[in-house]
Amino acid sequence: MGGEDNNLAEKKLKFSYFLVRHKLLSKKILIGFLISFNFVVYPILIYNFTLYLHRSKEIEKIMIELNERNIEFDVIRKATAPLAPEIISTQAISVGEGKFDLICLVYNPNRNWFIKSLNYKFVLAGGFESKVYNTFILPEEDKFLISFGEKINSRTDQLSCEILQVNWQRMAANQHKLLNISEAFSFQNIEHVTALIDNGGAISRFSFINSTVYNFWQIDFLVLLYEGDRVVGIEKTKIEKVISGEKREIKIIWLNSPPFVSRTIIKSEINFLDPSVFMSIELKPGKER
């Protein structure tokens, strides 16, 4: 053991003696190493710095492009925004004693936007102004906005309808099929019979069949009387608690019927996009229709 320690001490002594004796050479070797290291490291640093400067220009270019794309996104957003409802026609229908039914045909030109709520009123230049009404309009639907029995003492040829506020809702992908429900509504035996009631009254009759698989709490109907292409009479009625497959006989009495009617059109009005319009009927405990 003592011999090994002596050998180790001797080796350390020789190494120290070598460093002292060759101090200048060691210094030259260290300097040469550092110079060689710098020759390797500095080109790498210069390359990376040059690459950074080049890429910083690319990054600046990308940021500029992103700002330009933001403008494009704004353009796209405006392009996909809903189109305003279109007023097709406005008309006042005399119902006697200075009263008029006011109607305005409006079209929602959007396939993917539903007018959840629309406020409107009728206005005449002479100062007449109806109260504000509210309705809905389904996608790509034309709908009559109505004000019944308005007392007007001036000419009605300057009648206009003002749309005050529109609340839009974008259609979900699975909602479009709901718009086809009304295709399973059918109207039969439509007739308009005049002179059945004193003072020029009349009766409109029709059969309604709910051939859908749905039950409804209420369905509104608009009955339109035409003389050629012109609406000469309009009335609204409703039926409640309508069951799938049910047939209803519906009758409307007109106290002041127009003298000539060439055709009668029935339009159903129901918001299929509102889940609350559908009625569930309990058949058995735990089962609903």
Q: Using one digit for the tens of pLDDT, what is the confidence trace for 220-259?
A: 999 999 999 999 999 999 999 999 999 999 999 998 888 8
Is 216 within a domain?
A: yes
Per-chain mean pLDDT for the chain: 85
If asked whether residues 226 and 127 sit together in one domain, one would say no
Q: What is the pLDDT of residue 190?
A: 97
Q: Are residues 112 and 159 in the same domain?
A: yes
In terms of Cα–Cα distance, which of 133, 93, 136 is closest to 234? 93
SS3 231: strand
Distance CA 243, CA 211 (A): 9
What pLDDT, in 10s, does the model give residues 90-142?
999 999 889 999 999 999 999 999 999 999 999 998 789 999 999 999 999 99
What number is the average pLDDT over the span 150-173? Answer: 94
d(CA 119, CA 11): 103
In a domain, 42, yes or no: no
- 160 and 203 both lie in a single domain: no
Look at the chain and count its residues. 289
pLDDT score, position 284: 45
**203 and 144 share one domain:** no
Buried b (16+ CB within 10 A) or exposed e, 186-214: ebeeeebeeeeeeeeebbbebebebebeb
Residue 141 in 3-state DSSP? coil
**Final residue before a domain boundary, out of 171, 195, 221:** 171
pLDDT at residue 70 is higher than 70? no
**What's the structural domain count of the chain?**
2
Q: How far apart are CA 257 and CA 154, in angstroms?
A: 22
186 and 265 share one domain: yes
User: In sequence order, which residues have a C-beta less than 8 Å from that of residue 283 and are 6 or more positions away?
Assistant: 289
High-pLDDT (> 70) share of the chain, %? 73
189 and 282 assigned to the same domain: yes
The answer to whether residue 51 scores a pLDDT higher than 50 is yes
Q: Is the pLDDT of residue 72 over 70?
A: no
Could you tell me the end-to-end alpha-carbon distance of the chain, in angstroms, rounded to an integer? 101
CA dihedral 104, 105, 110, 113 (to 10 degrees): 50
Residues 178, 169: Cα–Cα separation, whole Å: 15
Last residue of a domain, one of 128, 154, 171: 171
Pairwise CA distance, residues 24 & 38, whole Å = 21
Express as a percent the part of the chain with pLDDT over 90. Answer: 60
Residue 188: inside a domain, yes or no?
A: yes
Owning domain of residue 140:
86-171
Question: Which pLDDT score is estimated for 37?
Answer: 62
CA angle 240, 117, 239 (to 5 degrees): 10
Report residue 103: phi and psi, to 5°. Answer: -135, 145
Cα 58 from Cα 162, distance rounded (Å): 53
- Asked which of 156, 171, 186 is the last residue of a domain, the reply is 171
Q: Helix (H, G, I), strand (E, B), or coil: what is residue 128? A: coil
Structure tokens at 92: 């006042």
47: alpha, beta or left? (left if phi > 0; alpha if psi -120 to 50): alpha
The structure tokens listed for 146 are 């109505």
On whether residue 15 sits in a domain, the answer given is no
**Is residue 280 very low, low, confident or very high in pLDDT (cuts 50, 70, 90)?**
confident
Q: Where are the beta strands (DSSP E) in the chain?
A: 86-96, 99-107, 113-123, 133-137, 142-151, 160-170, 185-197, 201-210, 216-227, 230-242, 247-254, 263-269, 282-284, 287-288
Helix, strand and coil content of the chain, in percent to the nearest 5, comes to 35, 45, 25
